[in-house]
Amino acid sequence: MAPRSWAVRVGPHEVTARLDAADVDEAAPAFVFAHGAGGHMTDRGMEALTSQLRARGIAVVRFNFPYRERGGKRPDPMPVLQDCIAAVVASARERTDAKRWIIGGRSMGGRAATMLAADGFACDALLLLAYPLHPAGEPTKLRDAHLARITVPVLCLNGTRDALCRRDSMDAVVAKLAGNFRMHWLEGADHSFHVLKASGRTDADVLNEVGNATKRWLSCRARLTA
């Protein structure tokens, strides 16, 4: 099925959203997939991850944040990012029969989704890809204070070489959270999910692991796929 695109109003802004149906199940859960700070809805990483998720029965809704829609590079303030995700979810609900809704995204987009969920936004789960726990080179400036307020299931996938998410710091954070937060480490991957040739793995291996880990997580949570 060809993807469907449409415009979404976000306050004074208008952004583009796109629905890519799941390859194997029309009754699939839908994932509203926010891009990272330096990316956009159709960048290479977003395309590759979307393909992995669709192949495993997850419909994907991608969109641009307002600053990217107008060609800018400086991210919008966090409240605007959150409002954008909420507006896209509301709009997508009118355009698909999905009964279960997952929000999240890459890096900054995933962080915005966690803050939205922490404030009580209605969703069934969160999928985080390269969560930016701290700024690069500043591992003590943690972005974790709101995570304990999230009550829905969370799957977070980060690379072990991610400069924005030290493993020891993230493991310490997760240890203090409720059992709804699951961490999956991608061995040798960096913040962009790239691996070094010396690792013996390829970027394709990492993407396949992301897809398989997400599928297993969903399979263990029947209410997300019912």
Within the chain, which residues score under 70 in pLDDT?
A: 1-3, 24-27, 222-226
The residues near 79 (Cβ < 8 Å, ≥ 6 apart) are none
How many residues comprise the chain?
A: 226
Tokens 């900054």 belong to residue: 108
Report the mean per-residue pLDDT for the chain.
Answer: 95
Query: What is the structure's pLDDT at 143?
Result: 98
Cα distances (angstroms) measured from residue 191 to each of 9, 23, 53, 144: 31, 27, 19, 18
To the question of domain 4-225 being in CATH 3.40.50.1820, the answer is yes
Tokens 């977003």 belong to residue: 46
Where are the domains positioned within the chain? Answer: 4-225
End-to-end CA distance of the chain: 22
Query: What is the structure's pLDDT at 224?
Result: 61
Task: Say which amino acid occupies 82.
Answer: Q
Which letter does DSSP use for residue 100 in this model? -
Query: What is the structure's pLDDT at 23?
Result: 83
Q: How many CB atoms lie within 10 A of CB 4?
A: 14
Query: What is the structure's pLDDT at 27?
Result: 66
Query: What is the structure's pLDDT at 28?
Result: 82
Residue 214, classed as helix, strand or coil, is helix
Enter the pTM of the model: 0.96
Query: What is the structure's pLDDT at 222?
Result: 59
Which letter does DSSP use for residue 141 in this model? S
Residue 166, classed as helix, strand or coil, is coil
CA distance 145 to 138: 16
Cα distances (angstroms) measured from residue 118 to each of 41, 173, 195: 24, 16, 32
The residues near 3 (Cβ < 8 Å, ≥ 6 apart) are 18, 19, 20, 21
Q: How many CB atoms lie within 10 A of CB 84?
A: 27
